[in-house]
Amino acid sequence: MKNTKEIKKQKRKDLQFIISAITFELKEIAYNDYFDTWENSGGMQWFFDECVDLAKKVMFSDGSKYLEWLSYWAFTNDEYPKTFTDMFGECFDWYHMDLARKEFESRYDKDEPKLPIQRNEVELIINLLKKIDVDGETMEHIITNVGMEEQIFRQLFNKFFVKMSENCFR
């Protein structure tokens, strides 16, 4: 049987691990699919507080599998006690990550889908390209590798043709 100090230490260690797992699991989802909430609720601080709250809820709510496992662990004298996976057939972190994701999704409304040009990823790519000071040859390489050379050529040709037509009729 474990003493109070050992139980608190185990709970703290497990909670920290699950907070990390949930944060990893939800970051892309929260930022990309719930960005309006992210931005209007406090950004990264809101998100981290939310992950802590989710971890506590999924681990310490009445009837949770974690509390069931912790109770077993606290009162066993087995040299090699059963793990969470041994008891429930589910991986400790993945089980709690899945519960936390479902809880998170039930709390918030997803953003309305945006056109690709309106999404945050596009702005991130533009800023990255500016930061690394991409030259024309590198940009051509990028465009070729994403399979967009014909489309870019058509768009640039049409844009050039329209500009030339406008200038001719002035």
Tell me, yes or no, whether 91 and 8 share the same domain: yes
Q: Which of 23-32, 33-42, 161-170 shows the lowest per-residue confidence on average (mean pLDDT)?
A: 161-170
For 112, other C-beta atoms within 10 Å of its C-beta total 6
Q: According to the model, what pLDDT value does residue 32 have?
A: 86
Q: Which residue segment(s) compose the domain that 93 sits in?
A: 4-107
Within 108-170, residue ranges assigned H as helices are 120-131, 136-145, 149-168
| Final residue of a structural domain among 57, 89, 107 | 107
| Final residue of a structural domain among 64, 86, 107 | 107
pLDDT greater at residue 147 or residue 170 = 147
Tell me, yes or no, whether 163 and 132 share the same domain: yes
The conformation of residue 147, written as its DSSP 8-state character, comes to T
| Final residue of a structural domain among 73, 107, 141 | 107
Q: What is the pTM of this model?
A: 0.68
Tell me, yes or no, whether 14 and 85 share the same domain: yes
Mean pLDDT (whole number) for 150-155: 88
Tell me, yes or no, whether 10 and 73 share the same domain: yes
Tell me, yes or no, whether 91 and 62 share the same domain: yes
47 with 38: CB under 8 angstroms? yes
Tell me, yes or no, whether 47 and 101 share the same domain: yes
Number of domains in the chain: 2
Tell me, yes or no, whether 8 and 76 share the same domain: yes
Residue 119: pLDDT band (50, 70, 90) is low
Tell me, yes or no, whether 85 and 17 share the same domain: yes
Q: According to the model, what pLDDT value does residue 37 have?
A: 95
Tell me, yes or no, whether 17 and 93 share the same domain: yes
Cα distance between residue 56 and residue 73, in whole Å = 19
Tell me, yes or no, whether 103 and 120 share the same domain: no
Tell me, yes or no, whether 72 and 137 share the same domain: no
Average pLDDT across the chain, whole number: 91
Cα distance between residue 168 and residue 165, in whole Å = 5
Share of the chain above pLDDT 70, in %: 95
In the predicted structure, residue 21 carries a pLDDT above the cut 90: yes
Model confidence pLDDT, tens digit, residues 60-97? 999 999 999 999 999 999 999 999 999 999 999 999 99
Model confidence pLDDT, tens digit, residues 155-168? 888 887 777 777 77
